[in-house]
């Protein structure tokens, strides 16, 4: 859902303060609005933020970098550096500042310093990966991410990113393995289940397509309204029915599963009354479903 856009230049100081606090707690990335609030409201009296001042400086700095406002980010970093010279959090912001300006070597040197000082903090290694990807160095990013996961094997976000990078390299086997690691931390997440099913289906071959079908069905179990999972079942079954080594009993099983999925897809479209909204589109959908059923019957018979 798109956040409501309002004019933040006219709000009171307390309203602006509460808005920034709410966005921090919700981890909302509303960078343009953060910058607007700071410049037009909160920067008039920073001392009134009391204990929140340094947290707000950090929030504004990251928002400014998002908006390519390196001037404002530099002001925030200087203010924080005066209060906390040598702080690792301030150094990380400095590295991000150099990233934004394209000074990759300087940023990398700071990250190296931070990693050496605290090898247990994954944030610095992940920023280094982001920096490599920002330079278009995908293979080096993959290598850095693999090294990161050797130390932080339960980092599901890193596994998810690694899977996407392998997909970009068309390395489906490794992409599938990375998604399996993600599923270990979130076994009931229907989106992850479906994504793994998509990868397996793309790999091709009877065994992979059968596994894909199983993952699509599992995704549908946890999210019964998932249309993409339903279509995945239809595609998987169509592919398996056309496989020469499939027995007649298996073909009937696949046909039954696909027909059931098609029926549920049709029910979903009919439930939102598309006929009344767009009769031509409704007719096309119904015709496509009919062709899908006919195709399945021909394949099995």
The three-state (H, E, C) secondary structure of 34-78, written as one string: HHHHHHHCHHHCHHHHHHHHHHHHHHHHHHHHHCCCHHHHHHHHH
Q: Which residues contact 92 (CB under 8 A, 6 or more apart)?
A: 110, 114, 123, 124, 127
- Predicted pLDDT of residue 7: 80
> What's the mean per-residue pLDDT of the chain?
88
Q: Is the pLDDT of residue 203 over 50?
A: yes
Cα 30 to Cα 37, 59, 147, 158: the distances in Å are: 11, 10, 32, 23
Specify whether the backbone of 27 is left (phi greater than 0), alpha (psi in -120 to 50) or beta. Answer: left
CA distance 30 to 28: 6
- Give the mean model confidence (pLDDT) for residues 31-47: 91
How does DSSP classify residue 5?
A: P
pLDDT of residue 273: 60
Weakest mean pLDDT among 42-51, 70-79, 235-244, 282-291: 282-291
Contact assessment for residue 185 and residue 219, using Cβ atoms and an 8 Å cutoff: no
- pLDDT band of residue 68 (cuts 50, 70, 90) is very high
Q: What is the pTM of this model?
A: 0.78
Distant-in-sequence contacts of 265-274, Cβ < 8 A, 24+ apart: 265/227, 265/230, 265/231, 265/234, 265/289, 268/225, 268/227, 268/230
More confident position, 50 or 199: 199
Cα–Cα distance, 284 to 8 (Å, whole number): 47
Q: Which residue has the higher pLDDT, 119 or 213?
A: 213
pLDDT of res. 246 = 79
Q: Can you give the pLDDT at residue 268?
A: 85
- Compute the distance between CA of residue 167 and CA of residue 183 in angstroms, rounded to an integer: 17
Provide the pLDDT confidence category of residue 146 given band limits of 50, 70 and 90.
Answer: very high
Local confidence band at 4 (pLDDT 50, 70, 90 cut-offs): low
Q: Could you give the percent of the chain with pLDDT greater than 70? A: 89
The DSSP 8-state label assigned to residue 122 in this structure reads H
pLDDT band, very low/low/confident/very high, at 294 (cuts 50, 70, 90): very low
The first and second tokens of residue 253, run together, are 């099983």
**CB of 299 closer than 8 Å to CB of 240:** no
Tokens of 217: 């069905």
Average pLDDT over residues 88-100: 93
User: Distances from the Cα of 251 to the Cαs of 49, 82, 262, in angstroms?
Assistant: 68, 72, 16
């Amino acid at each position: 859902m798109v956040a409501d856009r309002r004019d933040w230049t006219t709000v009171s100081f307390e309203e602006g303060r509460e808005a920034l606090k709410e966005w921090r707690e919700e981890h909302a990335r509303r960078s343009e609005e953060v910058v607007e609030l700071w410049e037009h409201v909160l920067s008039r009296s920073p001392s009134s933020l009391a204990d929140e001042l340094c947290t707000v400086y950090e929030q504004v700095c990251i928002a400014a970098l998002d908006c390519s406002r390196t001037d404002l980010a530099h002001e925030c970093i200087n203010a924080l550096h005066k209060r906390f010279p040598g702080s690792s959090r301030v150094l990380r912001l400095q590295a991000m500042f150099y990233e934004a300006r394209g000074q990759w070597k300087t940023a990398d040197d700071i990250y190296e310093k931070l990693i050496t000082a605290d090898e247990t903090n994954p944030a610095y290694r992940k920023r280094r990966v982001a920096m490599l990807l920002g330079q278009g160095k995908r293979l080096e990013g993959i290598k850095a991410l693999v090294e990161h996961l050797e130390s932080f094997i339960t980092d599901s976000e890193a596994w998810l990113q690694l899977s996407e990078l392998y997909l970009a390299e068309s390395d489906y086997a490794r992409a599938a393995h990375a998604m399996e690691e993600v599923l270990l931390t979130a076994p009931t997440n229907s989106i992850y289940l479906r994504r793994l099913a998509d990868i397996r289906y793309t790999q091709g071959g009877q065994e992979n397509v059968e596994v894909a079908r199983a993952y699509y069905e599992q995704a549908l179990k946890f999210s019964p309204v998932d249309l993409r999972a339903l279509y995945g079942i239809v595609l998987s079954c169509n592919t398996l029915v056309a496989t020469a080594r499939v027995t007649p009993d298996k073909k009937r099983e696949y046909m039954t599963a696909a027909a059931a999925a098609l029926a549920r897809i049709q029910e979903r479209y009919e439930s939102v009354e598309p006929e009344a909204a767009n009769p031509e589109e409704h007719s096309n959908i119904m015709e496509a479903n009919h062709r899908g059923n006919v195709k399945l019957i021909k394949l099995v018979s």
